[in-house]
C-alpha cells in the first residue's frame, strides 16, 4: 500500500518551481569555477533517553511487540531530556551540462542537539 503523502499532486506553481530550479542549475554551470552548489535538509528529530533506559519509539496508544514473559520497561517518549536532529548537506559536484545529474558530490551529516524542555 502506498501512503498518500508519497503521491505527487499537481500544484499551480509546479511549472514555475521547476523552471526556477533549472535556471539555478544553468547559472551554477555557467559560473561553476566561482560557485558552490549545496543542498541542505534537516531530518526528523530523534528523542534520546537516559543511558540504560530506552525510550519508546512509538506514540502513545500504539501497540508494541514484546517477548513473552518480559515486562515492557521503556520510558515514555514525552519525557526525554533532549533530541538529536540529523542534518544532511550535499556539496554537489557541478556537471558540465544541465542534462547531467546534480546528485553527485560529497555528503556531510551533522547531529544537532536540542533540549526537550526548550521553549517552542
Residue 65 within any structural domain of the chain = yes
Task: For residue 92, give the H/E element and its range.
Answer: strand 82-92
Q: Give the long-range contacts of residues 100-106, CB within 8 A, separation 24 or more.
A: 102/25, 102/37, 105/37
Residue 87 within any structural domain of the chain = yes
Task: Give 57-75 pLDDT, tens digit per residue.
Answer: 655 555 555 667 766 665 5
Task: Give 23-32 pLDDT, tens digit per residue.
Answer: 999 999 999 9
Supply the range of the domain harboring residue 16.
Answer: 10-115
Count of structural domains, the chain: 1
Residue 120 within any structural domain of the chain = no
User: Which has the higher per-residue pLDDT, 120 or 112?
Assistant: 112
Cβ count within 10 A of residue 32: 14
Task: For residue 23, give the H/E element and its range.
Answer: helix 14-30
In this structure, the dihedral spanned by the alpha carbons of residues 26, 30, 32 and 35, taken in order and rounded to 10 degrees, is: -80
Grid cell, residue 82, equals 533532549
What's the rounded mean pLDDT across residues 87-98?
93
What pLDDT shows up at residue 72? 60
Binned at pLDDT 50, 70 and 90, residue 33 comes out as: very high
Amino acid at each position: 500500500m502506498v501512503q498518500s503523502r508519497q503521491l505527487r499532486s499537481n500544484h499551480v506553481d509546479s511549472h514555475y518551481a521547476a523552471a526556477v530550479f533549472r535556471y539555478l542549475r544553468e547559472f551554477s554551470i555557467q559560473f561553476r569555477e566561482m560557485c558552490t552548489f549545496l543542498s541542505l535538509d534537516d531530518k526528523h528529530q530523534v528523542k534520546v533517553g537516559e543511558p540504560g533506559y530506552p525510550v519508546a519509539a512509538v506514540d502513545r496508544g500504539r501497540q508494541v511487540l514484546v517477548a513473552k514473559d518480559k515486562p515492557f520497561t521503556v520510558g515514555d517518549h514525552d519525557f526525554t531530556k533532549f533530541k538529536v536532529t540529523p542534518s544532511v548537506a550535499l556539496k554537489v559536484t557541478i556537471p558540465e551540462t544541465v542534462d547531467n545529474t546534480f546528485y553527485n558530490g560529497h555528503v556531510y551529516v551533522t547531529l544537532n542537539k536540542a533540549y526537550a524542555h526548550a521553549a517552542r
